[in-house]
Amino acid sequence: MITNLDQLVKAAKSVLEGNWIGDYTIPAATLYPHQWSWDSAFIAIGNSYFDIRKAMQELIFLFDAQWKNGMVPHIVFNEKEKTYFPAANFYDITRSPNAPKHIGTSGMTQPPVHAISCYYIYKNAIKNGEQETQVIKFLNNMFPKLVRYHRYLMTERDPEKSGTVTILHPWESGLDDSPIWDDALSKIKIERLIKFKRLDVIAVEGAKDTVPSDDRYNKFIYMIELIKEFNYDEPEMYKQFPFKIKAIILRAYPKIREDYSLLTSLPRYELYPSGE
C-alpha cells in the first residue's frame, strides 16, 4: 500500500516508464495498446517533471498524425497491436481527404489540453535548467499545430461561434461512459446492427463488469459507422448528425495568442485561460 507522497510519485513514474514504447506511452498493454490524445497530454505533463525528452516526443508523435483540417485524432494506432476494437481499418479514414496517409488514426478528437502540456514542458525545463535549446525548438514546431487545432475546434466544431465546442460522439468528451450521455443516447436508433467482436471484454478479465453494456457499445459503434458514411465531412455532419452536444469539458482549453512573434522570445509565450 502507498502511504506517502514520495511512494506515490515513485509508483506513478514507474507506470509511465513501464508503458513507454519508444515514441509514446500506452495507457494499458492489453486493453488500450495505442496512443490516446488527451492521455498523452497528461502523460507529457507527468514526464515533464522527470524526462523532458519523453514529454516532448509524446506530443511530437501525436501531432504528426494531425489531420489537414487541424483535428488531432483521439487515437493514433500501432498497427502491430490487434487487441483493440474498433481498430484503424474500422475507422477507414481514407474516406476523408483530410486524413493522414502515413499512419492509422481514429476519425474523432478529444479535449484539447495539449497547450497546457507544452506550458509545463517549458516551465519544468527552465526550472531544472535542462535542454532549453531543444525545448524552444520543440515549442516553435508545436505552436502552429496547436493554433490549427484550436482554430478547427472554434470553427468547424462551433460554427455558431458560441464559444463551446460540439462533440459528435461520447468518446470525444473523454468522459466516454458517463451517465450524462444517457438521455442523448436514448434517442439514437440503430437502423442496422453492425457485426463486430468486442475485444475489450476479452483483453481484461472481469472487464465485463466495468465496460459499457452491449446496448450502449452497439450505439457507440453505430455512430462511428454513421460518421464514416458522411466521409468525415464536418459541415455535413454538423447539419445532420443525430448526436451533437456542446460539451463543457472542451471549453476548458487555453487561448493561444495567434502572434508568431511570441516565439522569438519564449518568456513571452502566452497561454491563458479561455475567456480572458
Structural domains for the chain: 10-273 (1.50.10.10)
The least confident of 55-69, 198-212, 238-252, 260-274 is: 260-274
47-106 confidence digits (pLDDT tens): 999 999 999 999 999 999 999 999 999 999 999 988 888 999 999 999 999 999 999 999
Instruction: Report the C-alpha gap between 137 and 121 in whole angstroms.
Output: 12
Average of per-residue pLDDT across 244-272: 56
Average of per-residue pLDDT across 234-260: 78
Most confidently predicted of 81-95, 194-208, 257-271: 81-95
Per-residue cell: 112: 484539447
* pLDDT-derived band at 38, boundaries 50, 70, 90: very high
Stronger pLDDT, 209 or 66, i.e. the higher one:
66
| Closest of 34, 184, 60, 206 to residue 121, by C-alpha | 60
Instruction: Report the C-alpha gap between 35 and 40 in whole angstroms.
Output: 7
What is the sign, positive or negative, of the torsion defined by CA atoms of 233, 234, 240, 245?
positive
CA angle at residue 34 from 30 to 36, to 5 degrees? Answer: 120
CA angle at residue 58 from 165 to 270, to 5 degrees? Answer: 55
Q: Which amino acid is at 86?
A: P
Q: For the chain, what percent of residues have pLDDT higher than 90?
A: 66
Q: What is the pTM of this model?
A: 0.87
Please list the residues that pair with 271 across neighbouring strands.
256
Average of per-residue pLDDT across 138-144: 95
16-28 confidence digits (pLDDT tens): 999 999 999 999 8
Residue 30: is its pLDDT beyond 70? yes
* Side-chain half-sphere exposure of 245, counting CA atoms within 13 A: 18
| Closest of 228, 70, 92 to residue 154, by C-alpha | 70
Average of per-residue pLDDT across 212-227: 88
